[in-house]
Amino acid sequence: MATYYAVHPENPQRRSIGRAVDIVRNDGLIAYPTDSCFALGTQLGNRDGIDRIRSIRRLDNRHHFTLLCRDFSQLGQFAHVDNTVFRAIKATTPGSYTFILPATKEVPRRLMHPKKKTVGVRISGHLVAQALVEELGEPLLSSTLLLAGEEEPMTNGWEIKERLDNQVDAVLDSGDCGTEPTTVIDFSNNEVEIVRTGAGDTTPFE
């Protein structure tokens, strides 16, 4: 049964954040809000957590998981970013974007795209998401909480609790966080490709 935490969207309670992070550190899986919609999150090296996300979302091995990073310093540990790409990302983060970049050796192989050796990274503007990765001290392995066969991500914390009660270990709810997933920008082929148009404005990349 999932633990439910009502978290203030502008002043996240440290105790609730700490307990959620303890769950992540103990190989748990959480549902948490971002600046685009809810996401599933687990610890970077948690194989069981990754398999649980794949099961909930019915994903194959070509899916790009996202590393929710605290800041650019942390992002740079897990993705190769040249100067041009750095400036483009810097101008639009924190925000509702996921960037596909070549992965560094810090990224476990099973999290990379099997052929491209890329990984998704993002820096969220949502204060609860920021508090989680700050407390965790490393990126939170994440995936949009979009169930198979549904057109929109889940947006209601209590509904998530009811529907996924036996599949996640905790739900953090801070109210409305939007219904669109992130805009996905691929920088891995030395050019800009808008893979998915979502909550982030695509104008800077067109």
> Who's near 128: CB < 8 A, 6+ residues apart?
7, 9, 12, 17, 32, 33, 172, 174
pLDDT value for 64: 78
pLDDT value for 115: 82
pLDDT value for 120: 94
Domains of the chain: 3-205 (3.90.870.10)
Helix axes of 127-136 and 14-25: crossing angle, nearest 10 degrees: 50
pLDDT one-digit tens code per residue, 104-139: 999 988 888 778 899 999 999 999 999 999 999 999
Proportion of the chain above pLDDT 90, given as a percent? 73
- How many Å apart are CA 80 and CA 60, to the nearest integer? 25
pTM value is 0.93
